[in-house]
Structure 1
């Protein structure tokens, strides 16, 4: 009885630990059957070490949901009912046993076939939400609409009737929409809510068998860890990103992974390792191909590289260099990225305040409020301005411009 090297390899491709696979299997079972799963790390160990050669029932269903393939493709013996499972009636019986879901015994309804036009139409809805998020950010309306879109996509897939190519596209789109909901929650400084979305996004990315989708989930998981001040976990998440297959293949993804790692290490006061990671991020970014990247990572442009670099230098206490990076960002950022322009202007105000330029910082902070759209829910931005106010207040300044801004900012931070 040998170890299951195929399962171990697939887990490595998705960056899954034993505990993480158990968690994702439980999430998948709840999605399938409406009740929480009871998969433990011990269950996963038995799957890996060969103790379990033929997973059955809910364990089988969960593995197939997470990895998007039959258990036989994961190095296991196929279920003894596999021959029956091809028949629709027996397949429904199997799913009832596996998930506890009640299925009507009547003849299944006629299925409409999903095609490329359906995938394109739904992608158009997603792209519109992505543009709205870039404008306002952190708005609960966008978060809810992204969740609703992901649910509609999964519902359309539940009846089957799609080619493998279209089905994978749709699962990728459902994962991307769920990640968009998560990022809206991150922008609203609600990391636990974001984590809930991401728990659902990772199995969807697995069903899509798409390394870029998996990478995006890990990127957002890393951000939730950082927002919760768990920088060790953030660094571990960034390690998964930079070692992923897509990062080994594409220097743009490699660069973002190294950049996230550099920022996490800087916040852990590991200066030498952080500088090394930043150097790797710069080199990989310079090698990035000129072709159009996927929608979500298109944000990682030269202006964004400078913005994330400013966070890095801020964490190392070099506020002069952080300010330089932010000026470069704001001179190059696209005009439609209103949320990011306001966020980075707020960080510019903070960098100026930390250098003792209190009147300049106040004037910059006032510009931020003028940029923010009324619907904006970007608490990342207003939180940064609140920290700026604290820094200015701590100087004891009596400068009229600064004092005026301190009082004014209390109304909206």
Structure 2
């Protein structure tokens, strides 16, 4: 049974796929189309956290009519069309209200959703008109009816999705300790939504400010597993969601320099994958384990974990996933100073990447595109001491990165600064370092700060070179991390 105590006013019926929307996506992968949606939103001053999962839900017919923010973006992307032209149902059929007259503007979201009338709070409302859970972007609308109802009714989904505070994550663990009843579909949806929110916040702002707040959602997710589920399909989704959440929390620890915590979270995700026989989750857990091992100075473990990830991922049929895993292996070989092994893995990574995106690509891989490929290759050459080649790839990575991934742009720019400094090009290094410092106003990442600290030490003997003194002084003035 559904976890929400609010009955739906819509009759139960299977969703009808939106074939029109699928046709409009064309040859682009769901992740690539989601990036195009985000770019279009920025063009008109909207902010939507569209990702591959959202695109899949639209095409599967799970989202019969988008919220007003998405409506404005879609009509901007496909001028001259109406929502029904895009394959959506009329708003009146999902809201129980009259259809807007042609030419009317989408209604503005209510100023206070908590005090909204039944117009925006009815159980049949399949879209949120205002997102209260992200202080960085109060207009970052999300499409999740079950999640909205779960927060309103205080059911188990509230616990699973982490009793979201205005920051987007639970600030305390008390909610995770409350008893829960058997989980239903909306609990699984809420858990998946919590994973998405963590990833979006990390993409924009880095991990340091998020990690402590993410512990309670993770405990709550495993509390739901202990409580049991109403259906096997729901249980499978909960296990997968809990494992993905463990990986996301592990990444926050990883990027914050808490390697032991990260290792524990990744191991938890791997155990969850093994219990349920979830090959996709297993590949993801091994992927992150390999990355962590490389960063923690255990390159042989990085190679083994990356190879295990590839064994798990091979039946999944995603060349892009295999490409990323080959890059993880290459990073391990570079740490072992095995140039030949590294080059072979890089060749495989490029060959897999060139096959293009596909329907089997995991949702969590939305970050992986040409920019990330270039950035990870830059790190390999840097580890091998080929600074010139590393700088070339790092520069290309920074130039190619989608603006949505602010943290990655900062990382690639910091990598470029360090490679240039070590390649004996202090003036260029200082310029790149200043750009990275500018971006640190938006991003909190111990990894980036550590890289810039290393760059500053390399540049100290070049203080008299143009621009270097300014970079060193500005870096020295950075506030200490708490």
TM over 0.5: yes
Distance in 2 separating the partners of 1:111 and 1:267:
46
In the superposition, relative to structure 1, how do residues 111 and 237 fare at CA in structure 2: closer, same or farther (>3 Å)?
closer
- The two structures, once aligned, show a CA RMSD in angstroms of 2.2
Match for 1:217 among 281, 285, 289? 285
Contact residue 181 and residue 197 of structure 1 kept, 8 A: yes
In the superposition, relative to structure 1, how do residues 175 and 318 fare at CA in structure 2: closer, same or farther (>3 Å)?
same
Residue number in structure 2 paired with 1:138? 207
Contact residue 395 and residue 412 of structure 2 kept, 8 A: no
Q: 1:407, CA displacement in angstroms?
A: 2.4
Contact residue 143 and residue 185 of structure 1 kept, 8 A: yes
Q: 1:360, CA displacement in angstroms?
A: 1.8
- Kindly indicate whether residue 416 of structure 2 is the aligned counterpart of residue 342 of structure 1: no
1:342-399 CA-to-partner distances (Å, cap 9, x unmatched) read 111101111221222212211211111111236x4311101111111111124x4412
- Kindly indicate whether residue 260 of structure 2 is the aligned counterpart of residue 260 of structure 1: no
Residue number in structure 2 paired with 1:402? 468
* 1:64-213 alignment, distance < 5 Å: 112=181, 114-140=183-209, 142-213=210-281
- Kindly indicate whether residue 446 of structure 2 is the aligned counterpart of residue 379 of structure 1: yes
1:207-255 CA-to-partner distances (Å, cap 9, x unmatched) read 3431111111111211221122111111111121122244663222221
Local SS of the residue matching 1:138: coil
Contact residue 413 and residue 433 of structure 2 kept, 8 A: yes
- Structure 2: which 5+ residue stretches go unaligned? 1-178
Residue number in structure 1 paired with 2:477? 411
Q: 1:294, CA displacement in angstroms?
A: 2.7
Distance in 2 separating the partners of 1:316 and 1:189:
22
Distance in 2 separating the partners of 1:351 and 1:279:
22
Q: 1:122, CA displacement in angstroms?
A: 2.3
Distance in 1 separating the partners of 2:345 and 2:229:
46
1:267-323 CA-to-partner distances (Å, cap 9, x unmatched) read 211111211111111111112433373332221111111111111122233222222
Distance in 2 separating the partners of 1:117 and 1:177:
16
Residue number in structure 1 paired with 2:425? 357
The aligned length equals 301
Distance in 1 separating the partners of 2:199 and 2:205:
10
Residue number in structure 2 paired with 1:31? none
Q: 1:159, CA displacement in angstroms?
A: 2.7
Residue number in structure 2 paired with 1:390? 457
Contact residue 255 and residue 446 of structure 2 kept, 8 A: yes
Q: 1:327, CA displacement in angstroms?
A: 2.4
Distance in 2 separating the partners of 1:343 and 1:397:
23
Contact residue 313 and residue 321 of structure 2 kept, 8 A: no
- Structure 1: which 5+ residue stretches go unaligned? 1-109
Greater relative contact order (CA < 8 Å, ≥ 6 in sequence): 1
In the superposition, relative to structure 1, how do residues 339 and 238 fare at CA in structure 2: closer, same or farther (>3 Å)?
same
More helix by share: 1
Match for 1:299 among 352, 363, 367? 367
Residue number in structure 1 paired with 2:350? 282
